[in-house]
Structure 1
Amino acid sequence: MTTRVARLSWPLIALLGVFALVRPVPSITGAMEVLGRPWAPLVVTVLISIVWFAAVVWRREGRPVLTLTCAGLVYGVLAVVLSAVLSPVLHGELMGPLASPGGVGVVMVLLVNAAWGAVVGVVASVVSRRHHTGDR
């Protein structure tokens, strides 16, 4: 398993995780309220998913599921840190996943975002496999 993880494109994983930070920015700035809920968060999530999908398919990543699962985890960690830094500044108190008892919020953020990446990775894997089979 260690060699498999080492062969992942860590720069791509980091870039995709950082890119997903566009998701909390509209919430932090209040733009989600202007754009309208529940559609605005869904649209942003779909757009990020399309970029993630396109990146691993275009690069012909050998392990799209693992790559995007890791990207989801990177995003989750960054989102928790961003929340910890910004919530006291914007709201005067710690809010978000770190404020939940027993670290449950952090675990849920990581699980949900890892699952998000994995689902997009499975779709990319299926599409890539079909596309590459069609190349022959």
Structure 2
Amino acid sequence: MSRATRVLGFSWPALVGLAALAAPRVVLHDLDVIEEGTFVNGLFVFLPPLCWIAAVLWRRPPRPFLTVVVIGAIYAVFLAAGHQLLWEESFGARPPALGGNLAGLDPTAQERIIRAAAVVSSLVTGLLVGAVTGAVAALLCRLVPAPKGGR
């Protein structure tokens, strides 16, 4: 058993698999297949973190908060990569542009700045989702008795 498995309660492939549950929303949203505020979008938003919580309640890792933060960090990478890979499909001929004093900046420089900001935003979003979900999972691990018979 690896150190990560002992501390996080899951193997790396399992952690990546759990994070990947949230990846389809990135693709579907960026391709305008699903829209914000719809029931289907809500399923894609809330179901993966609920699965993360269920997995933690089932496996009872030693550090549930850390486990889910790691899942969120992996999801953050998927989120950032997905947005970058689907940039052209998402924006087409009308990419976002800077305004104000930066409006006159070279379009290539503007794109690099905006893409970098999108990466940072994706990483922060994934980590926040992991932290909030991890806090809920850790609390539930304290409140909900472990199933009899162990894992």
Same fold (TM over 0.5): yes
1:14 equivalent to 2:35? Answer: no
Aligned partner of 2:119 in structure 1 is 106
- The letter for the 1-side match of 2:56 is V
In 2, Cα distance between equivalents of 1:134 and 1:80: 36
Counterpart contact for 1:87–1:93, Cα < 8 Å = no
**TM-score for both structures, normalised by structure 2:** 0.67
**TM-score for both structures, normalised by structure 1:** 0.74
Change (3 A) 1:27 1:101: closer
In 2, Cα distance between equivalents of 1:26 and 1:55: 24
Counterpart contact for 2:19–2:75, Cα < 8 Å = yes
Q: How far is the alpha carbon of 1:74 from its aligned partner?
A: 0.9
Q: Relative to total residues, which structure has the larger helix share, 1 or 2?
A: 1
How big is the alpha-carbon RMSD for the aligned residues of Structure 1 and Structure 2? Answer: 3.0
- The letter for the 2-side match of 1:105 is A
Aligned partner of 2:75 in structure 1 is 75
Task: Report the 3-state secondary structure (helix = DSSP H, G, I; strand = E; otherwise coil) of the residue aligned with 2:144.
Answer: helix
Aligned partner of 1:63 in structure 2 is 63
Identity %: 27
Q: Radius of gyration: which is bigger?
A: 2
Q: How far is the alpha carbon of 1:114 from its aligned partner?
A: 0.8
Q: How far is the alpha carbon of 1:119 from its aligned partner?
A: 1.0
In 1, Cα distance between equivalents of 2:114 and 2:32: 26
1:121 to 113, 134, 140: 134
In 1, Cα distance between equivalents of 2:49 and 2:93: 32
Superposed CA offset, 1:8-27 (max 9, x none): 23222211111110221321
1:28 equivalent to 2:27? Answer: no
Aligned length: 128
Change (3 A) 1:134 1:70: closer
Superposed CA offset, 1:56-92 (max 9, x none): 1111122221111111111111222122222235636
Q: How far is the alpha carbon of 1:5 from its aligned partner?
A: 8.9
